[in-house]
Amino acid sequence: MAPMEGTQPSPGHHLLLFIGETIGNYELTVHLYKGDIPADLSFGNSIAIDTETQGLNLQRDRLCLIQLSSGDGNAHLVQFEADGYDAPNLKKVLKDTNSTKIFHFARFDITAIEKYLGIMCTPIFCTRIASRLTRTYTDKHGLKDLCSELLGVEISKQQQQSDWAAEALSQEQQDYAAADVLYLHQLMEILTARLMRENRTEMAEACFEFLPNRARLDLEGWGDIDIFAHST
């Protein structure tokens, strides 16, 4: 169900959008907010997170959207204006070190969050890193590939390159953004089992723990430089 034409979310309010699919017994629902999440919103001990930026160069392209899900079929999208990154309720959730933050390609997302919200998310589970450590039979580690192989779910990436700074996001953009977090809990469960099977859990955890430092290196200008490489 699409929102009524001309309806805009306002601070402290949200629209409900139904994607029309299910995860287990859950109907997939999108909640869209402006600037922050409600103060009473809780995500439990693990939270799937993704970001959308205006481009892929964080020195130039600003954070436009953060997506959140507790794995219950609800996706919570938070839109930001260029000067509107206060978001005290969201920051409280992101600061909670008792909650595991699940990302796909955490390196980029936590860098964007650190730059614009001033929060370094920990602890972290990155499905892309876990995939690279366990699915060594393939070089396809995108979220679309993981959902297809491990969950039998086909997600669209057509909206990946679109105007995320638009005042009103299209239904297609919202569905795309929601899909980026709605399946991460299931993927984490499967990949955690595979890491244990391959005796690579400790290695993965070490990689996850290093990610905040990798993000800081990116922010300080070492994004494309391998400081561990032997080069002249």
* pLDDT per residue as tens digits for the range 49-66: 999 999 988 989 999 999
Q: Token pair 């569905």 is at which residue?
A: 175
Distances from the Cα of 190 to the Cαs of 146, 147, 160, 186, in angstroms?
10, 11, 25, 6
- Mean pLDDT score across all residues of the chain: 88
Helix or strand holding residue 82 (H, E): none
* pLDDT per residue as tens digits for the range 186-207: 999 999 999 999 999 999 999 9
* pLDDT per residue as tens digits for the range 134-174: 999 999 999 999 999 999 998 877 666 789 999 999 999 99
pTM of the model: 0.88
- In the sheet that holds 74-79, the strands lie side by side as 14-23, 26-34, 74-79, 63-69, 46-53, 100-103, 124-126
Task: Identify the CA nearest to 222 among candidates 60, 125, 111, 142.
Answer: 111
Indicate the fold that domain 14-219 takes in CATH: Nucleotidyltransferase; domain 5 (3.30.420)
Task: Identify the CA nearest to 49 among candidates 126, 118, 117.
Answer: 126
Q: In the predicted model, is pLDDT for residue 72 greater than 70?
A: yes
Dihedral of the CA atoms 155, 183, 200, 125 (nearest 10)? 120
**What DSSP line would sit under 36-71, residue for residue?**
S--TT---TTEEEEEEEESSS-TTTPPEEEEEEE-S
Task: Identify the CA nearest to 186 among candidates 50, 72, 41.
Answer: 72
Domain positions in the chain are: 14-219
